[in-house]
Amino acid sequence: MIRLDATSADFADRFADLVDARRESATDVAQGVATIIGRVRTEGEEALIELTRRLDRFDPVETGWAIDPADCEAAYNALEPGLRTALDLAASRIRAYHERQRPTDTDYRDEAGVRLGARWRPVDAAGLYVPGGRAAYPSSLLMNAIPARVAGVERLAMVTPTPDGQVNHLVLAAAHVAGITEIWRVGGAQAIAALAHGAGPIAPVDVVTGPGNAWVAEAKRQLYGVVGIDMVAGPSEIVVVADARNDPQWIAADLLSQAEHDTVTQSILFTDDAGFADAVTSAVEEQLGTLATGAVARTAWDANGAVIVVPSLAQAMPLVDRLAPEHLQLAVDEPQDLFDQVRHAGSVFLGRHTPEAIGDYVAGPNHVLPTGRRARFASGLSVLDFMKRTSFLGLDETALAELGPATVALAEAEGLPAHARSVALRLRLNR
Amino acid sequence: MIRLDATSADFADRFADLVDARRESATDVAQGVATIIGRVRTEGEEALIELTRRLDRFDPVETGWAIDPADCEAAYNALEPGLRTALDLAASRIRAYHERQRPTDTDYRDEAGVRLGARWRPVDAAGLYVPGGRAAYPSSLLMNAIPARVAGVERLAMVTPTPDGQVNHLVLAAAHVAGITEIWRVGGAQAIAALAHGAGPIAPVDVVTGPGNAWVAEAKRQLYGVVGIDMVAGPSEIVVVADARNDPQWIAADLLSQAEHDTVTQSILFTDDAGFADAVTSAVEEQLGTLATGAVARTAWDANGAVIVVPSLAQAMPLVDRLAPEHLQLAVDEPQDLFDQVRHAGSVFLGRHTPEAIGDYVAGPNHVLPTGRRARFASGLSVLDFMKRTSFLGLDETALAELGPATVALAEAEGLPAHARSVALRLRLNR
């Protein structure tokens, strides 16, 4: 953890170092991923079988590729009732929030008599990657599947690794809640390749989303253009802007809720009170000792944590914009003025009673958010990621007479005579 | 050109071949591009100077990197008046269409008392690539720059190669119309790298758009994630659905307006009348002989053109969806029924008097559209490509009491105790 004071002489340099620090793994799996994609494309199911036997240590020919939706329903019914209610609440609130994201079509006639507009349609099929093991979060499944459903996607194909043949019952229960009925026991780059190109029993899809390890992320990157993908995600991060009237324990827990995800995550506190900064730092140390995820959180906090004291919270906001954080908590009584200053952030959590964790699960907005300063140009996952827009126009003879001559002039200037001719013929011009 | 009949026994196979045919260059420039990006990143301006001297054969140290906006204004004033009017008309109509794409923010309170919403903001800076040489289209400059302006992007940085130091006056004039004042004489992968990472006088941007050759496209692909990019574009294509009541010469010109762009473009006609198919084929042959771009168009038409006779135009529409074409013309009197069937197309041109060329220049919708079947999942360039969405939420104590327990349950089930604690502390639960 570093501690910075915005009034110190070396602050500009040290803050710039913090902004530029790269926490993303430089592991180069590009060649290995390219090989897997090539194999799945040419060998199809044979490649999936061989890779799954070797990497996931079970035989998909014996188990079958598909997970039965009845198993998902059974997993849901077997959940502890409080957890079942929690999953249902999360799904229903996520659905309600995303329903407001459905785009509106346009269709109008302008003063030149031209009919113009744009029409949104869902993709035909979306593929959803769900990791196995420690990073298998049922909440992520809901965050990916529900926007696709709200978009109106007819076919949703889920892939998930089942190492040693073992399924994750919490993930199956979430699949049931999300209404997913097509689930394949395959993971890694080979699963992404199968979704993009089709292989064995898996028909190709149009968009692939969902978190995964470095191999999954690289496969999505390489197949971008063959299919649509969500933004490649890096390590998670949180910025908390807090005044001294917060309980230091609350803020410490907020910082640690990011740190416990992974050793490369980042938690940053901005405050206008040096004593409060000390109190939060102490509370972090105290809580680290009692946290089951303490070892991971300790490594992340020590390596990437930062506590920054600023003369006023308003002065923190341009610094926050440079970080363009995935998550931004504004822990003050009246957050609106600070919020109005924010240009770049994935998601903002307003006020003392809005810990980021609420947004991870049940609030409604998507928790798949741009990381690594990508909030400068990228947005969280939404219904729009599962839809596309077709523009259209229609002219009658009168409208063409009005717009035609300019088109002919521009086409000729660009050296495209057939373009000019397609208009000129209709205008009965000699060309 | 191939001719297919939808009622013939081998149609399914032959149409599948047409859908699967790859026209995208397999040129592997990935390693060369990676080297250039690495050099620009580490050597900065020195790399730009060396590459520009070698590849564009002029000395940017002598000429300076910047093109003076006064030169753009002079180029505009020197235009033939008809062309000046045409550029102004195009710009004003493109602006009007894109202004309707500005997204709406949301901010509401739901029944649980949670404040929820999403806020759109423009990116701080956008980089626009404008090719030199034959593919330097002023219309593309307008199609890329105007959506960025409408989005509210404050800084728009244009890069364009000036081989042998020569500028393209039509492009400079279009830059003036688009109000671009920051223009750099640099092209190729090195220009994209300079925009993404910053180099020499060029400050980094957040989004890079605009067409380019294979090196430019690969540089954008490799830098996706460092910056936002528009969809990687492949060869252009058009599908025309036409009944026998069209003038065959009009439809032939429409097919050729795509073919003249490049030898790898594709033009496909669907018609329900074999005699009309013959007539269009003859008209294409006839026009090819009189077209200044005839050699290019001939190669494209011979290699990739297709004429497909279907029993009825309605039966063509599922086939069109499988092609998911960049451009789709519905050349019939009443196109609405056919249009209602379309799921996948970049842009649709309705009726006999709406040749695709109108959409390339002055109609208003963007002509940067998804190619190579990407209309299955991608949309044309829009104002949204230059903006991003920040979600937000705010809870008070009452709302947290309502949503908190479900969050604690889910966080504990996912093995994330600090997440649970950040909520439990605020609820005064013992955890």
Handedness of CA B152, B157, B162, B165 (dihedral sign): positive
Min distance B196 CA to chain A CA atoms (Å):
12
Return the pLDDT at B407: 97
Give the 3-state secondary structure of residue B128: strand
Same domain membership, residue B302 and residue B182 = no
Q: What is the pLDDT of residue B186?
A: 97
Which pLDDT score is estimated for B26?
Answer: 63
Q: What percentage of chain A has pLDDT greater than the value 90?
A: 91
ipTM, two decimals: 0.95
Q: To which residue do tokens 């240009």 refer?
A: A343
Q: A with B: how many residue pairs have Cβ under 8 Å apart?
A: 368
- Cβ-defined contact of A292 to B417 (cutoff 8 Å): yes
Interface of B with A in 407-426 (CB under 8 A): 407, 409-411, 413-423, 425-426
Question: Is A171 a domain residue?
Answer: yes
Answer yes or no: is pLDDT of B232 > 80: no
Q: Which of residues 250-309 of A touch B (CB under 8 A)?
A: 250, 253-254, 256-257, 259-261, 287, 291-293, 297
Are B284 and B405 in a shared domain? no
pLDDT for position A21: 87
Residue A28 has pLDDT above 90, yes or no: no
Chain B CB contacts of A118 below 8 Å: 101, 365
Q: Do B138 and A207 touch (CB under 8 A)?
A: no
Give the list of residues 6+ apart from residue B396 with CB closer than 8 angstroms, or none: A351, A353, B113
Going by pLDDT thresholds of 50, 70 and 90, the confidence category of residue B132 is confident
Tell me the pLDDT tens digit for each residue of B356-370: 999 999 999 999 999
A88, A130, A376, A396: best to mutate for the B interface, most B CBs within 10 A: A376
B391-417 pLDDT, tens digit per residue, is 999 999 999 999 999 999 999 999 999
User: Is A327 a known ligand-binding residue?
Assistant: yes
Nearest-Cα distance to chain A for B186, in Å, is: 22
Q: What is residue B296's predicted lDDT score, i.e. its pLDDT?
A: 96
CB contact under 8 A, A384 and B384: yes
B322–A contact, CB cutoff 8 A? no
Check if B367 is active-site.
no
- Residue at B195 is within a domain: yes
- Please judge whether B101 and A118 are an interchain contact, meaning their C-beta atoms are less than 8 angstroms apart: yes
Please indicate, yes or no, whether residues B220 and B146 belong to a single structural domain of this protein. yes
Rg (CA), chain A: 26
Is the pLDDT reported for residue A22 higher than 80?
no
State whether B126 and B163 are in the same domain.
yes
Q: What is the mean pLDDT of residues B113-138?
A: 91
Q: Same domain, yes or no, for B9 and B102? A: no
| Contact between chains at A353 and B397 (C-beta distance less than 8 A) | yes
Q: Which of B372, B382, B331 is nearest to A120 (CA)?
A: B382
- Does the pLDDT at position A302 exceed 80? yes
Q: Output the average pLDDT for chain B.
A: 95
pLDDT (0 to 100) of residue A133 = 67
Cβ-Cβ contacts under 8 Å, A170 against chain B: 413-414
Active-site option among B218, B237, B260, B326 = B326
For range A207-220, the mean pLDDT: 93
Predicted pLDDT at A235: 87
pLDDT band at A26 (very low <50, low <70, confident <90, very high): low
Q: With the CA atoms of B364, B370, B375 and B377 taken in that order, what torsion angle do they form, in degrees rounded to the nearest 10?
A: -110
Residues 6+ apart with CB under 8 A from B42: none
CA-based nearest distance A312→chain B, Å: 22
Contact state of A377 with B123 under an 8 Å Cβ cutoff: yes
pLDDT above 70 coverage of chain B, percent: 98
Is residue A276 very low, low, confident or very high in pLDDT (cuts 50, 70, 90)? very high
- Does the pLDDT value for residue B430 go beyond 60? no
Residue with tokens 């380019």: B212
What pLDDT, on a 0 to 100 scale, did the predictor assign at position A24?
72
For residues A245-274, average pLDDT: 97
Any idea what the CATH number is for the domain that residue B259 is in? 3.40.50.1980
Helix (H) or strand (E) holding B228: strand B228-229
- Residues in chain B closer than 8 A to A207 (CB atoms): 377
Candidate from B106, B359, B426 with C-beta closest to A355: B426
User: CB neighbours (10 Å) of residue B6?
Assistant: 17
* Residues A246 and A223 placed together within one structural domain of the fold: no
Return binding residues of B for NAD(+): 129, 190, 213
pLDDT on residue B135:
63
Q: Which pLDDT score is estimated for B84?
A: 97
Residue B368 lies in a domain: no
End-of-domain residue from the set B200, B229, B258? B229
Query: What would the mean pLDDT of A201-222 be, rounded to a whole number?
Result: 94
Same domain? For B354 and B399 the reply is no
Q: What is the total count of domains within chain A? A: 3
Of the listed ranges A239-248, A386-395, B214-223, the least confidently predicted one is B214-223
What pLDDT is stored for residue B192 in this prediction? Answer: 98
Selecting from A115, A253, A404 the residue whose C-beta is nearest the C-beta of B421 gives A253
pLDDT of residue B30: 86
pLDDT tens-digit series, residues A105-146? 999 999 999 999 999 999 999 999 999 866 678 999 999 999
Active-site entry in A218, A237, A260, A326: A326
- B275 with B261, same domain? yes
Answer yes or no: do B393 and A364 touch at CB < 8 A. yes
Nearest residue, CB atoms, A364 vs list B116, B419, B420: B116
Structural domain contains residue B384:
no
Per-residue model confidence as pLDDT tens digits over B200-210:
999 999 999 99
Nearest CA in chain A to B232: A225
Look at residue A3 and tell me if it is in a domain.
Answer: no
H helix count then E strand count, chain A: 18, 14
Phi, psi of A118 (to 5 degrees): -150, 140
pLDDT at A259 over 90: yes
A366 lies in the same domain as A420: no
Q: Mind listing the pLDDT tens digit for each residue in B166-197?
A: 999 999 999 999 999 999 999 999 999 999 99
B157: pLDDT confidence band, cut at 50, 70 and 90? very high
A263: containing domain: 234-377
Q: Residue B258: is its pLDDT beyond 90?
A: yes
Which residue reads 């649709």 in tokens? B348
Check B390 against A347: CB less than 8 A apart: yes
Same domain, A285 and A317: yes
Residue A430 has pLDDT above 60, yes or no: no
Q: Do B292 and A417 touch (CB under 8 A)?
A: yes
Mean pLDDT for the stretch of residues B59-82: 96
Last residue within a domain, chosen from A229, A252, A270: A229
pLDDT beyond 80 at B431: no
Look up B327 and say whether it is catalytic: yes
Three-state secondary structure call for residue B346: coil
- A225-247 pLDDT, tens digit per residue, is 999 999 877 889 999 999 999 99
A431 pLDDT exceeds 60? no
Q: Does the pLDDT at position B22 exceed 90?
A: no
Dihedral sign, Cα of residue B42, residue B46, residue B48, residue B52:
negative
Together in a domain, B259 and B176: no
Q: What is the pLDDT of residue A156?
A: 98
pLDDT average, residue stretch B64-74: 97
Q: Output the average pLDDT for chain A.
A: 95
What's the pLDDT tens digit per position in A407-421?
Answer: 999 999 999 999 999
Considering the domain architecture, whether residues B62 and B82 belong to the same structural domain is answered as yes
Confidence of residue B297 (pLDDT cuts 50, 70, 90): very high
pLDDT category, B25, cuts 50, 70, 90? low
CA atoms within 13 A on the CB side of B338: 28
Q: Residue B376: inside a domain, yes or no?
A: no
Dihedral angle over CA of B307, B311, B316, B318, nearest 10: -130
In a domain, A20, yes or no: no
Taking only residues 176 to 235 of chain B, the set having a beta carbon closer than 8 angstroms to any beta carbon of chain A reads 206-207, 221, 224-225, 227-228, 231-232
Does A12 fall in a domain? no
Single residue among B342, B363, B384 that ends a domain in this structure = B363
**d(CA A82, nearest CA chain B) in Å:** 7
Q: Are B46 and B40 in contact (CB under 8 A)?
A: no
Strand-by-strand arrangement of the A115-122 sheet: A106-109, A115-122, A387-394, B347-350, B327-331, B237-242, B266-271, B306-309, B2-5
| Each residue's pLDDT tens digit, A39-81 | 999 999 999 999 999 999 999 999 999 999 999 999 999 999 9
